[in-house]
Structure 1
Amino acid sequence: MPLAIYILGLAIFAQGTSELMLAGLLPEMAKDLGVSVPDVGLLISAFAIGMLVGAPVLAAFTSRLPRRTVLLAFLAVFVLSHVAGALTDSYGLLFATRVVGAFVYAGFWAVAAATAIGLVPVTARARAMSVLVGGLTIATIVGLAAGTLIGQHFGWRAAFWAVAVLSALVGIAVYTTIPAGRPGPDAAPSLSTELRAMTRPALWLAYGTTALTTGALLATFSYLSPLLTDVTGLDEVWVPAVLGLYGVGSLLGITIGGRIADARPFPLLFTGVAGLILTSVALAVSASVAVLAIPLIFLLGAFGFSTNPALNARPFSLARNAPTMAAAMSTASFNVGITVGPWLGGLTIGAGLGYTSVAWVGAAIGVLGLGAVALSAALQRRAPAARETADIGEIPSPV
């Protein structure tokens, strides 16, 4: 496996840490910025908005540009957005920097995926892409806990500086390992070809399932830090460890899901979403009891991430002639859920229903997601088998 693949995975780790770390910094940021915790929670949605827009737009307009140049440009903007965020005292400006940083992060995902596939033979594509996705999975375990720890001891701005410095160092590595030059004329289908392949209703139902399932998880995940301190009663020093346990559950879930998704996608989706619903309800009921809440947070990560391999793979079976746009819209659909989930959770907190209300919101969204899975399964059974047979070893989207 070329060194460049691992460098790209490290870049995803650095940028993915920024996406995730705010969940552990909400109370500190709210106090420093003079806003409410739900307002800071919207910064998670701001990041998702940037990725939602950036994924399809930048995927469409950068496929023929020199990849190393594009990757470095995206990283440079990402670093500057975090420097600006670390320096500002304005909530509005911080919100804007989150959108901008996420916009280029989404573009980096699209170009990094195309680059990774171009650097290896066809038989090694899945392995190469697993390295990229692994960068985000490790960010869930290490980056989230480290960002929270840095923020608690040195202030949330230090966590932003740490992400900026790591991303800048990764940029140097990208420059030295990624080949220069433009991709070949056959590196990707034309945009018109991909757009024509994106018209199947079942494909958009799959994207809706992704958005709902992700929203069900993120409604709760985004507010775990204040839930643990204010409801469970944990000292804030233990929050990084519990979030790290959530990350371990996520890694276990995505590992198990990856082994099952190709052969039994719908049983996996049914089990994962149902488990997410039940875990959310159990957490809402028992969040005040640490010995119950902590294992449930582990299960939240496990069930929430177990569905991702199936959610990632299905769009490629439904849009086999649109690998770039299928990946971009998968990224967008994940980030619809990342945007809507924290927003709905913040509404219930703002209405005075307390932090446990976000778990009820997650469970309710999960019920809708389970319905979407059932409808997709029904359509799958009715569709001709040939329509559902495809090579899904293409570009996976972020988890």
Structure 2
Amino acid sequence: MSRILEMAQERSPHPGDPALVAPMPLGLDINARSAEIDERQMCRDRLARLRAELARRDYAGALLSDPMNIRYATGSRNMSVWTMHAPGRYVFVATDGPVVLFEFGTTLHLSRDLETVDELRRSMSWFYFMAGPRVREKTVLWAADVIGLMKEHGRSNRRLAVDRCEPWGAQLLIDAGICLFDAQEPLEQARMIKTSEEIKCMQLSMDVCDIAVDRMRRALRPGITENQLWSILHETNIAHNGEWIECRLLCSGERTNPWFQESGSRVINAGDMVGFDTDMVGPFGYLADISRSWICPGRKPTPEQRKLYEIAQEQVLTNIELIKPGLSFRDFSERCWPVPEAYVPNRYMFMIHGAGFVDEYPTVVYTTDWKDWGYDAMFEENMVVCVESFIGEVGAKEGVKLEQQVLITANGAVSMSHSPFVDAIEP
């Protein structure tokens, strides 16, 4: 019997009957912890940061369809994953005027109490799933709303930041004399520095993630499948009012090298390397993003497995120590821990990325990749970033994935996760 089934029956009111399973117990009082966060103040602060970035670029406003951006600007959440591919809701944020949220007609009630939303309107769904052969007609109606708002609240200019827009819709706005700009730049810059309430949200999400990782560690036994082990992260997240997992990066044995294999039905064996990347969007929609690699109990780690772990660990710990406010990305890249030549081809794609709602700006790349897609800026206080490592030689059996999420303080980077990391390849 798998350890997952054993755990389920242990908490069942009817042991022996797997159809009658009690819910996984909570690891913390999510209601009490959530009450410590001033969500209304957080929403006001986020909107103010966004407007400051729009004003800095002399934009009249922003038209946002990406659900992450809608939530940042308004605090409104509605079918986030679905609307990532079906943009049926959007928001107009005037730099010096109202916030107008266009919502599905039957869901207007979800955002009625938001201080950050001045007006609610029914959205015009102009994508093919909803509009079918009437796309052109619905696009004209959608554009008329946007054009009208720009005329009324245009800040004496016609400069509009847009994040997602099909070309035929964009053309109607351009034909009306509106100049379109990329909204992702001001949004990512606004989201980069976390407010005090956002930091509380991110720590809460990480605390939930740590509970899930501990439960995964205790459930890891020979005979469990990758998917069974991975499901514990999902269940724990949802039980604690979390939202979704961005990827499904858990793999074992020879599937750990190269990285980015997705979890499957493979049965994990004693002595297998098991690696995963949480990518967990937790309570309040904030990210908890750490990676751990373990050895499945039943056999001791081999010398090669220990060596891989020690190298990956050294890379992450050394690079965390380097991070300070005011350090440029270029300087970090030049001073970072050098990856041994044998592991360079399979290295992780970057050393550091930002974290907020999801993976966010910035990314910091290796010097060898700088010419292709590096860029410079500086680490700043109250940024949250993730420090990455993957160590696996081309053609070798296994690899090790490690990652730590840190808050940048005035004195340097502080790890947000308390999940065992140093020399934690085995219990």
The normalised TM-score by structure 1 is: 0.30
The normalised TM-score by structure 2 is: 0.28
The structure with the greater share of residues assigned to helix is 1
Q: Which one has the largest radius of gyration?
A: 2
Q: Which structure ranks higher in relative contact order (CA pairs < 8 Å, sequence separation ≥ 6)?
A: 1
